[in-house]
Amino acid sequence: MSAFENQLTTPEERIVFSHVELKTRMNKTKEDIAKSFDYVLKQRPEAASMPWFNPLKDAVIDFVTAEDNASVACYIDSVEYKYTGRVILMLNEDVKGLGAFTESELSEPHMQWLKVLDRKYHEYRDLFTELDSGACFAMARYSTLHDQTPEKLAELYKAFTDPNGRWFIGLTFKQWADWYHKSSEMFDESGSPLAEQAEKMFKTLTVWKDQEHEENVSWLCRNYEIHPFHKPIISKWIAECREKIAEAQ
């Protein structure tokens, strides 16, 4: 996950950034960086109208000093490190913040994500006093593209770091939160599965009619990638479906 996504306000911007972030991962020189950005620009001409694209290219090229840091990801990491002042925030250690940068640096088109990151970080510190600085920073890094509320992000983070939950194994916090967003799209405002989704799942349950309820829940969640937060909703819906299937026999 890159905190840079905080300044990306459209899906198109996010696609372009993901392309340059991915394309530069194996780069070793300034020339490689330039070629990667030029390649993405050729593939995605709309990048030319994005104010941050060329300034980011120049910043990454200027940043390259050795073969092990020639990438967009390494550059963003270095800016994050300058912001936090340390590799890992422990307990309630605070960040250095925007004071670590000059006004000129903060005015650059490719640095606007820092202002969003800083605003969110301090907002979360004030809202969630039970969370340490590292948790608030991790939440602030998460892109606001999906419009998750601060309360929902905090709920997701607490579950993600709960040692008894075991949901976090093999996932980053971004993947965990994105999974929740994707899973949410399967349900309407009342919490019921959308009609097309419900039809598919009902057919699956018909095939699995001889399984126990908990088996249905476990396998349906796995097959349709339903987030653990939605397990209670889908469990109730499955129980109702099982009754209909039994009545039809």
Q: Report how far apart, in Å, the C-alpha atoms of 118 and of each of 64, 83, 101 are.
A: 26, 9, 12
Per-residue pLDDT of the chain (249 residues; tens, 9 = 90+): 589 999 998 999 999 999 999 999 989 899 999 999 999 999 999 999 999 999 999 999 999 976 567 799 999 999 999 999 987 777 678 899 999 999 999 999 999 999 999 999 999 999 999 999 999 999 999 876 677 899 999 999 999 988 777 666 678 888 899 999 999 999 998 888 999 999 999 999 999 988 999 999 999 999 999 999 999 999 999 999 999 888 887
Query: What is the spatial distance between Cα 82 and Cα 99, in angstroms, rounded to a whole number?
Result: 10
Helices of type H across 128-212: 133-141, 150-160, 173-184, 195-207
Instruction: Enumerate the domain spans of the chain.
Output: 3-163, 185-248
pTM: predicted TM-score of the whole model, two decimal places = 0.84
Query: What is the spatial distance between Cα 103 and Cα 66, in angstroms, rounded to a whole number?
Result: 27
Which residues in the chain belong to E strands, given as ranges? none
Q: Which amino acid is at 20?
A: V
Give the relative orientation of helices 53-63 and 30-43 as an angle to the nearest 10 degrees: 160
Contacts 24+ apart (CB under 8 A), 111-114: 111/79, 112/7, 112/52, 113/3, 113/4, 113/5, 113/6, 113/7, 113/8, 114/79, 114/83
